[in-house]
Amino acid sequence: MTAFDDETLMRWCDGELSPEETARLEATALADPDLAVRMQALRRLQTATRAAFPATVDARDAGLARLISAEPVAGPSPLARLGRTLADVLAPRRAVVWAGLATAAFIGGVLIGPMLGDGRDGLRVSPDGVLADAGLVRVLDSRLAAEGPDGDGRAVGLTFQDGERRWCRTFQAREDGMAGLACRQGDGWAVRVLAPLGAAGGEVRTASSDTPEPVLAAVDAAIVGQTADAAAEARARDADWRF
């Protein structure tokens, strides 16, 4: 297991690591294919996000940052502590690239695969966030977790209901290098979050055991009750994912 977490990789993408840290990371990646794939995916996702949301500099930003971080000499007031917390949360290194990419998908409609440079048609998400990839929709509609991936590497992992009793399912689209969470919306599936997959190892792994941390965090935020067992999953599928 690599010692480099996602925040370190994001800082590398943003050029925030020291020369020594950068050299150590890149040297490790030469001998760690999984780390190299994570770095490559994050770099491509960062490029896609910046293209979707070009940043503009406002001359007032520097003054606002100084105001937020200002602290009285006598000690931090509750307002100053809140300001520091907000400044830390809103710092660029805290922004999750794949969350921004999901937002771009919801607003403008994207093809995820071409952004990762694999030359395929890609994982399609419509402008309103509804999954438009026919193959993945078919897997979410009908495939059970125990059946494993289809011929194109698409698989489902966890199945559960959210606070509005909508059925939600985690998924992998391995040929697109993506994993995510989608919840039932009308007759389709709305994407809640997307994240890059790591490199596929030689061992056989289930979709739920190989789910990226951002997707698991989205599950934790949405789930009410327990995940569906095999029998409950089959009943929900046979009922066309109605309540």
Question: pLDDT at position 55, please?
Answer: 54
What is the torsional sign of CA 226, 229, 231, 234?
positive
Question: pLDDT at position 2, please?
Answer: 52
Segments of the chain with pLDDT less than 50: 1, 52, 71, 73, 79, 82, 85-87, 89-98, 100-111, 113-120, 199-206
Question: pLDDT at position 171, please?
Answer: 94
Residues 55, 82: Cα–Cα separation, whole Å: 25
Parallel, antiparallel, or unpaired for β 188-196 and 154-161?
unpaired
H or E stretch covering 36: helix 33-52
Question: pLDDT at position 114, please?
Answer: 46
Q: Which two tokens stand for residue 218?
A: 């989205």
Domain coordinates in residue numbering, the chain: 60-89, 97-238
Kindly give, in sequence order, each residue whose CB lies less than 8 Å from that of residue 221, ignoring residues fewer than 6 positions away.
none
Closest to 124 measured CA to CA, from 186, 42, 182: 182
Residues forming a β-bridge with 131? 125
Inter-helix orientation angle 60-69/78-89, to 10°: 130
Question: pLDDT at position 231, please?
Answer: 95
Question: pLDDT at position 241, please?
Answer: 95
| Exposure class string for 77-115: b at 16+ Cβ within 10 A, else e | eeeeeebeeeeeeeeeeeebbbebbbebbbeeebbbbeb
Q: What is the DSSP string of 11-35?
A: HHHTT-S-HHHHHHHHHHHHH-HHH
Report CA-CA distances (Å) from 168 to 73, 157, 220, 238: 50, 10, 12, 15
